Structure 1
Amino acid sequence: MKNSLLPLALLLATASFAAQAQTSDFVELIPSVYLQKDLTASVGLGVIDLPKYVDGSEQHIKPLPLVDLQWKSGVFFSTVSGFGYNFSDTVRMQYGVRLGLLAYQEQSKTNRDTGPGNTPTDVEPGAFFNFLITERFTFLSTLSTGAGSQHERNGTLANVGLRYIERLSDQDRYYLILGSTWANARYMQSYYGVTPEQASAYHFPVYNASAGSQKVKLSFGWDHALNKDWSLIAGGTVWKPLGAAADSPLASNKALHQLYGAAYYRF
């Protein structure tokens, strides 16, 4: 179990962080009881192909830095999970607090600066809870707040997911995660709503976005160990906007995707 969770954490870095400076929807850690050193560390580099704009009109390829630091005391810092603390010292449960990042968002190539759908990078304080159901299945959840427009960073997000891990050999493993995100009305309005003032200035119809399911997504990844220090990873995520996010004139209602590949080194 210990050996499968470290590469998994790096695999999940690509689900959100990438060069967009955004942490993952979920927190992925090695249980503290499995950590043999005071500090367990991995670093890597790769590339990722992901949507450039919320409307899904363009993809772009960017560098993918990977960093994962976990202390036996419970402190962690990574491009996957952000900065936080795991209070649990058991294998079956992980729970704690974290600071995550939500990336700067542009609605489209033509709608720039302070137009509707364009939101700044936000620091998101929150909490997480993971429960190991079986050796292969794990329930994942996070709750975060602090996202939104320049003056009203009071959006709240709740994520739940089910992770499946399968070891194919001593060198190869893969994972699947089915997840869903719920957002409150303030988050939805900041990211997907259009005020009368914005409608007049940017020629979008007025749109009031309500609370509800924001997206459903499927993440997948593969890890191949070259030796005890080096590994290769590849995978991606497909997600579909739901509810007010799918109906917004600012966003695409079609499925979006990102794909990645990287190499990393374990210290």
Structure 2
Amino acid sequence: MDLKPVSLLGLLAGLLAGHAAEAQTPSPLAEWQYSSGIQLQRLFEPSIPNWEVELGLGSQFAPVSDGLQRYQVQPGPALDIRYKDDAFISTGEGIGVNLLSFSHFRVGAAVSYDLGRPMHNDGKALNGLGNINPAPEAKIFASYALAKGFPLTLRVDIRRQLGATNGWVGDVGAYMPLPGSSESFAWFAGPSLTFGDQRYMQRYFGVSQEQSLASGYRQYKSHAGFKSIGFGVSAAWLITPHWIVDMSGTVNRLLGSAAESPITEVRTQAVVSFSVLYKF
């Protein structure tokens, strides 16, 4: 790969961090899309500014919940504030710190949040299943960029919900810079795989005896394992030295007991996120 355009990606990598309008679990975007480019910025740019601040507004067009047919528009703030290579506040990644940070490798911890699943989001499909209330999540994550000549970035995270399902959920993903990037444009693409423990999977995709009586769905036990596989693309345009337009999209396919759940109406879903931000 030509190192000159890759170096430009290093300059622009921070444009793509944390631009999703809302972070939620189940997350309609791949987890790597909330921090895409950050590790490459560390790889290509040895000097990181003390402060990197981006504020704006965004919106997502996404399913009301995993496996349901109905979509909705979800507007919200877009925020990404980073101090040196130490700490961050982001609508995508949450509030966190980098415990270890090197040019190729980053390990950190954060508190993010789960928006839950209100039953009234889709009364017909969710009636009788009860609410999954919003709750914070404790998260640990790691990312690794292979090399400047082949800047594939790997990312893994695991989150413990402190409420909501009280379960564990995590992601494994990877992304690469794509050809065509310039001093005013950068884009990345890659796959992701999401998994959950039995408590998480049962709350979102299972049907207890009580829920079965209230909803009419057959009783169903969901198991721990892979929840979905997906592929995403994230892109950012530097319209002026301060104004950024960001767009992300992903397609996800439910797997295993999530796909077989009686609640699931469709197995393949897509989401598009659009944000306009001001970079200070």
- Identify the TM-score tier after normalising by the shorter chain: 0.7 to 0.9
2:105 corresponding residue in structure 1: 93
1:162 corresponding residue in structure 2: 174
Asked if the contact 1:44/1:66 (under 8 Å) is kept, the reply is: yes
Asked if the contact 1:175/1:222 (under 8 Å) is kept, the reply is: yes
Moved >3 Å (runs of 4+): 20-24, 29-34
2:161 corresponding residue in structure 1: 146
2:123 corresponding residue in structure 1: 109
Asked if the contact 1:116/1:191 (under 8 Å) is kept, the reply is: no
Letter in 1 for 2:196: A
1:8 corresponding residue in structure 2: 16
Letter in 2 for 1:205: R
CA drift of 1:123 comes to 0.9
Q: Which has the higher contact order (CA 8 A, sep 6+)?
A: 2
For residue 95 of structure 2, give the secondary structure of its aligned residue in structure 1: strand
1:126 corresponding residue in structure 2: 139
CA drift of 1:238 comes to 1.0
1:225 corresponding residue in structure 2: 238
Asked if the contact 2:206/2:261 (under 8 Å) is kept, the reply is: yes
Do the aligned partners of residues 64 and 218 (structure 1) sit closer, same or farther apart at CA in structure 2, a change above 3 Å counting? farther
CA drift of 1:56 comes to 2.3
For residue 265 of structure 1, give the secondary structure of its aligned residue in structure 2: strand
Q: How does 1:154-193 map to 2 (within 5 A)?
A: 154-166=166-178, 168-193=181-206
Asked if the contact 1:147/1:187 (under 8 Å) is kept, the reply is: no
Larger proportion of helix: 2
TM-score (norm. length: structure 1): 0.87
Q: How does 1:216-255 map to 2 (within 5 A)?
A: 216-255=229-268
Letter in 2 for 1:61: V
Task: State the aligned residue count.
Answer: 259
Letter in 2 for 1:44: G
Asked if the contact 2:65/2:117 (under 8 Å) is kept, the reply is: yes
TM-score (norm. length: structure 2): 0.83
2:6 corresponding residue in structure 1: none
Equivalent-residue separation in structure 2 for 1:156 and 1:212 (angstroms)? 11
CA distances 1:109-138 after superposition (whole Å, capped 9, x unpaired) = 32557x327411121102001001134310
Higher mean C-alpha displacement, 117-126 vs 128-137: 117-126
